[in-house]
Amino acid sequence: MTADPATVRPPIAMLAELTHRCPLSCPYCSNPLELARQENELDTEAWVDVFRQAADLGVLQLHLSGGEPASRRDLEPLITAAREAGLYTNLITSGIGLTARRLHALDEAGLDHIQLSLQGTTAEMADRIGGYRGGFDRKMKVAEWIGEIGFPLTLNAVLHRQNLHQLPRAIEMAVEMGARRIEVATVQFHGWALRNRDAMMPTREQAREADAIVAEARARLKGVLVIDYVPADYHSNYPKRCMGGWGSTGLVVAPDGQVMPCHAAASIPHLVFDNVRDTTLAQTWYHGGAFEAYRGTGWMQEPCASCERKRVDFGGCRCQAMAIVGDPDATDPVCIKSPHRAALTRQADAHAAAEADLVYRAMPHRQVTEPAD
């Protein structure tokens, strides 16, 4: 199936993964297992050109992410260039690598919004999950500086079995920091997280409890704190609409310039990605094979093909179908209509009941570490 270019609308958002380098090594990192090395990263000029192309294509929102985007020494000029191109700039950061001076420079550059990740609400939890001692205290310092400058702030709490009990405190912290919004994100099991399901899969009870905590806090904090919630995937009835629909709203540019429909798309072996080094963003968006592969509904098999929800969730996540069922064209196994759903439920319960050590994300230049025995 090839999409009719006349019906493909321009993208709204672009995620620019500036680097895979990161001082932290979260076991649920969404970066691919194959991390891009620093010498393969796009340089300043190449990124600036990508930002201009993105704005010309119709992108409004630019998310600057990584790895840790502050690991890029040219972050300030990149933000200046993105603003000049007319993009709304959002920095997705762990805070490590930011100083008061650097934050002031980002303010001068025109940075619009900061999304600060939270690995836990205590130093003990956060530093263990992030694999970085002193990270939590540093992050609290960074949050203070963000508040002093007055950047709009979203706190991004990533939750799983080991820290879900800290959810009420995470919400409180967001209010104390003056954040306007908190993203309560239950770990999505892709990339590194897939190796940590035994250690991180929430129990069903935890998932229900989180639903209730979020509902209560939403009502209580209306007009004070906006709560966006990503519930535990394996415990839902229907899958999530990934990226707003494949190739319909957003695109991801990896550190080395590969352009992907979603940040986990590299896990699908048959997809071939264009690179900004040799293909324009417009050509890739409208005609790139990886974008056309799962755009719209034409690629679907049953039960999706005749399902009334097919334009609601677009069959769910292709990467999840790949990871669990081994077939990227299959219905997302989270869906209750999937023949694999019963097996997934058993798996989820088994993972939730299991015990395991965390497998930390590797650094781009190192070998992948497996847990000792």
Partner whose footprint covers residue 112, from other proteins, ligand SF4, none (CB < 5 to 8 Å by kind): other proteins
Looking at the chain, which runs of residues are DSSP E strands?
A: 13-17, 61-65, 88-93, 113-118, 153-159, 181-186, 226-230, 250-253, 259-260
Of positions 60, 123, 175, 177, contacts other proteins by CB under 8 A: 60
Residues 89-148, interacting with other proteins (CB under 8 A): 90, 112-113, 115
CA nearest 135: which of 23, 31, 18? 23
Question: Between 86 and 131, whose beta carbon lies closer to other proteins?
Answer: 86
Report in angstroms how near the CB of residue 63 gets to other proteins at its nearest. Answer: 8
Report in angstroms how near the CB of residue 241 gets to ligand SF4 at its nearest. Answer: 9
Dihedral pair phi/psi, residue 153, rounded to 5°: -125, 135
Report in angstroms how near the CB of residue 221 gets to other proteins at its nearest. Answer: 11
Residues 166-185, interacting with other proteins (CB under 8 A): 180-181
CA distance 12 to 6: 17
339 Cα distance to chain centroid: 28
Residues 215-254, interacting with ligand SF4 (CB under 6 A): 238-239
Question: Between 117 and 166, whose beta carbon lies closer to other proteins?
Answer: 117
The site for other proteins, by CB under 8 A, has a size of 24
Q: Is 305 left (phi over 0), alpha (psi -120 to 50) or beta?
A: alpha
Which tokens hold the place of 329? 């064209």
Of positions 42, 185, 225, 304, contacts ligand SF4 by CB under 6 A: 304
329 Cα distance to chain centroid: 22
In sequence order, which residues have a C-beta less than 8 Å from that of residue 141 and are 6 or more positions away? none
Of positions 315, 328, 333, 364, contacts ligand SF4 by CB under 6 A: 315
Count Cβ atoms within 10 A of the Cβ of residue 372 and give its class: 0-12 exposed, 13-18 middle, 19 or more buried: exposed
Fill in the amino acid letter for 45. E
Count Cβ atoms within 10 A of the Cβ of residue 253 and give its class: 0-12 exposed, 13-18 middle, 19 or more buried: buried
Partner whose footprint covers residue 24, from other proteins, ligand SF4, none (CB < 5 to 8 Å by kind): ligand SF4
Question: Between 185 and 271, whose beta carbon lies closer to ligand SF4?
Answer: 185
Report in angstroms how near the CB of residue 311 gets to ligand SF4 at its nearest. Answer: 8
Partner whose footprint covers residue 53, from other proteins, ligand SF4, none (CB < 5 to 8 Å by kind): none
Scanning 43-51, 147-155, 211-219, 332-340 for contacts with ligand SF4 by CB under 6 A, the matching segment is 332-340
Report in angstroms how near the CB of residue 83 gets to ligand SF4 at its nearest. Answer: 24
Scanning 8-16, 66-74, 180-188, 285-293 for contacts with ligand SF4 by CB under 6 A, the matching segment is 66-74
Element (H, E) at 319: helix 318-320
Q: Is 285 left (phi over 0), alpha (psi -120 to 50) or beta?
A: alpha
33 binds other proteins (CB under 8 A): no
C-alpha distances in Å from residue 94, one per residue of 170, 262, 303: 15, 21, 40
Partner whose footprint covers residue 315, from other proteins, ligand SF4, none (CB < 5 to 8 Å by kind): ligand SF4
29 binds ligand SF4 (CB under 6 A): yes
Strands 259-260 and 250-253 come out as: antiparallel
8 Å CB contact between 282 and 53:
yes
Of positions 32, 66, 69, 328, contacts ligand SF4 by CB under 6 A: 66
Report in angstroms how near the CB of residue 171 gets to other proteins at its nearest. Answer: 15
Residues at the interface with ligand SF4 (CB under 6 A): 22, 24-26, 29, 31, 66-68, 94, 117, 238-239, 303-304, 307, 309-310, 313, 315-316, 331-332, 335, 337, 361
Residues at the interface with other proteins (CB under 8 A): 10, 12-13, 56-58, 60-61, 86, 88, 90, 112-113, 115, 150-152, 154, 180-181, 222-223, 226, 228
